Amino acid sequence: PLMFIFYIYIYIEKDDVVVATDGRRYDVRLRERKRYSVYWEQKPAVVKRCSWFHKGNKDMTYTPYSEELSDILEDAYMIAVTLDEWKQNLELPTGETVILHNPKLMMQYPSSYKDFPPSPTERTQPRTLKRGIENIPIVDHLVFMVHGIGPACDIRLRGIVQCVNEFRIASNSLIKSHFRQSEDLCIIGRVEYLPVNWHKVLHGESTGVDKDIERITLPSISRLRQFSNDTVLDLFFYNSATYCQTMVDTVASEINRLHSLFLQRHPHFTGHVSLVGHSLGSLILFDLLTNQETDADGKPHEVCSSAIILHEDAHVDTGCSSYESLEEVLKGHGLEEHLSVLHSEQVDMESLMLCSEKDLKDVGIPLGPRKKIMNCVKKWKHSRTGSGHAAQNETHSPSLGMRNAHEHQTPTTSAVDYQHFDVGIGQVSIDYPQLAFHPQALFAMGSPIGMFLTVRGLKRIDPNYSFPTCKSFYNIFHPFDPVAYRIEPMILPQDVDLLPMLIPHHKGRKRMHLELKEGLTRVSSDLLGSLRMVWQNISQIPSPALAEDFECSFSNLNICAAVPPMEQKERNFTKVGMLNRGRRIDFVLQETPIESFNEYLFAIQSHLCYWESEDTALLVLREIYGNIPVRNALS
């Protein structure tokens, strides 16, 4: 049930009053008393119209009155305001007594108050009344959250909408506990989190992939095979040029659609936008951001409205796909000066399709023209094979992004070109769409990005590489997550062994069992230091037998010694490439005491823990708000 209705956005639609609620994520039709979701598909929910609320001394939030009691309180309040007569007793049908002392002090007393007013020492205390909701923080940051493999996102098998709601609740709670002063001073507002669902489109009727897989699935162990088809196969689909294009198009199209819809409902929004990806979703976002393009002034390429909502008569310019000769390609992009070089190498349009970027570099074509030529070749390939944006002329539902993008076409088999760009991230050669904004940061949770880059043939990420349109990148993982991989070792020299950054506990301390482990580590280190000093002193004594016994004991103790605390290594090394502007990239959560007993038992759960992790939510808030003071411990 709804606890609050925010009266911040009201309009008339078909003789019905519509109220935007819950941060404008829902519309409530007052005549129907039903709430409809705006950004995702969800069954309408029954709501109550609440205008009066009460709260006890120990309550954290206000509780709404019923509509009947709210009408009684509203009538009494309007009479008091009109006649300027306060401190009148109002007896409610429930037996409680309400006294409106003044517009800012209104109290509800128990039923026994009229005959025997309670003393301050009694447990039954009056409740504070409040009319309406005020001081609603304005959204100053927007975050899109992309899920991983399968339709379920957490251990309770909830979908992306429910998990994002859980993350939003944790974030709002942390703002009130850790950023209370900044919120009261209106230095910060509120972070809005919106879910991005790509699984439904990939496994929908438009692609037909589920029916194709079902025909070749063995009948044995049916439940396990069904689970594998719904989840694990998504990893293989992403390595397919055909379905990788569908997945990337869906994510980008849905993000752009939600972004456009959000701006319509928040016309005064001037904040930043960030991206969060879980598991495979983080890899999709990583590849998208790697392939974003900017104009000469650093602005993103303009995304036309047809990329967000396509209609039957929409026309999409295929760019290079309309060219039939090498001369037309080069002249169309102002690169005709390089035509003589290609002609000297007997390169025509057909042979250009077989060239890699390294081939163009070897014949002396500069970096800028190389990028333009290779981008044009990619689009020309997809226009001929029937993949990519050529399929976008089909109609699709705006609420589901690219639902019908492949409905009327048969996928064709073509050679997949794995390109190794200068920045060193070989990936499937597809046409990557452009986002309508520059993200502030990418947060990867439980991400296999490092593993995918490695199996693509990438051994090292250039330390000078950064996303074209995104400033920051954070790789967040649980220490027992079997799907997560690190990023920093791919950037740092091989002789540098840097432990990941330990994410602070949201209550401002390390977990007790980790503090105990660290304390034992320090004791072991101190003991070893003392033993070394003793050994140096007695080693001068000519006693081979004594030395042999002591050396044996020393080696046994050395086996039990633990590595130094992470903070010591952090002091010695600070800059890690430019993916996160030289700052640290890998961040590890603290396992709970029960998880530390058996890391294998909690492996699956650790991969799905991020949606409910307050430590993860606090890290996101810290990085979003930058230098805003954070309260380290709860009172």
Question: Which of the residues are catalytic?
Answer: 279
pLDDT at res. 96? 87
Residue 246 counted as domain residue: yes
Label residue 242 by pLDDT band (50, 70, 90): confident
Residue 634 counted as domain residue: no
Using the Cα atoms of residue 304, residue 305, residue 308 and residue 309 in order, give the sign of their dihedral: negative
pLDDT at res. 420? 39
Determine the Cα–Cα distance for residues 452 and 110; give it in Å rounded to an integer. 64
Q: 123-137, 300-314, 316-330, 352-366 — which is least confidently predicted?
A: 300-314
Residue pair 402/201 in contact (Cβ under 8 Å)? The answer is yes
Mean pLDDT (whole number) for 324-331? 74
Q: 38-47, 321-330, 611-620 — which is least confidently predicted?
A: 321-330
Co-location of 115 and 249 in the same domain: no
Q: 25-34, 260-269, 352-361, 412-421 — which is least confidently predicted?
A: 412-421
Quick check: 620 pLDDT over 60?
yes
Co-location of 490 and 617 in the same domain: yes
CATH number at residue 500: 3.40.50
Co-location of 64 and 206 in the same domain: no
Residue 500 counted as domain residue: yes
Quick check: 311 pLDDT over 90?
no
Co-location of 145 and 231 in the same domain: yes
Number of domains making up the chain: 3
| Contacting residues for 83 by C-beta, under 8 A, at least 6 apart | none
Q: Identify the helix (H) or strand (E) that includes residue 352.
A: helix 349-352
Domain end position, chosen among 131, 156, 187: 131
Co-location of 488 and 356 in the same domain: no
Co-location of 288 and 369 in the same domain: no
Type of residue at 438: H
Q: Identify the helix (H) or strand (E) that includes residue 607.
A: helix 603-607
Partners of residue 34 on adjacent β-strands: 29, 46
Co-location of 584 and 605 in the same domain: yes
CATH number at residue 355: 1.10.150.50
Residue pair 177/60 in contact (Cβ under 8 Å)? The answer is no
Determine the Cα–Cα distance for residues 329 and 374; give it in Å rounded to an integer. 11
Mean pLDDT (whole number) for 530-540? 58
Q: Which domain holds residue 57?
A: 52-131
Co-location of 57 and 198 in the same domain: no
pLDDT at res. 461? 92
Residue 447 counted as domain residue: yes
Determine the Cα–Cα distance for residues 7 and 20; give it in Å rounded to an integer. 7
Residue pair 246/400 in contact (Cβ under 8 Å)? The answer is no
Determine the Cα–Cα distance for residues 70 and 501; give it in Å rounded to an integer. 52
Determine the Cα–Cα distance for residues 515 and 509; give it in Å rounded to an integer. 9
Residue 620 counted as domain residue: yes
Residue pair 381/368 in contact (Cβ under 8 Å)? The answer is no
Q: Identify the helix (H) or strand (E) that includes residue 349.
A: helix 349-352
Burial pattern 251-264, b for ≥16 Cβ within 10 A else e, equals bbbbbbbbbbbbee
Co-location of 97 and 150 in the same domain: no
Q: Which residue has the higher pLDDT, 236 or 560?
A: 236
Domain end position, chosen among 108, 131, 154: 131
Co-location of 578 and 452 in the same domain: yes
Domain end position, chosen among 131, 152, 167: 131
pTM of the shown model: 0.65
Co-location of 259 and 146 in the same domain: yes
Co-location of 279 and 193 in the same domain: yes
46, exposed or middle or buried, with CB in 10 Å at 0-12, 13-18, 19+? exposed
Partners of residue 441 on adjacent β-strands: 472
Residue pair 596/483 in contact (Cβ under 8 Å)? The answer is no
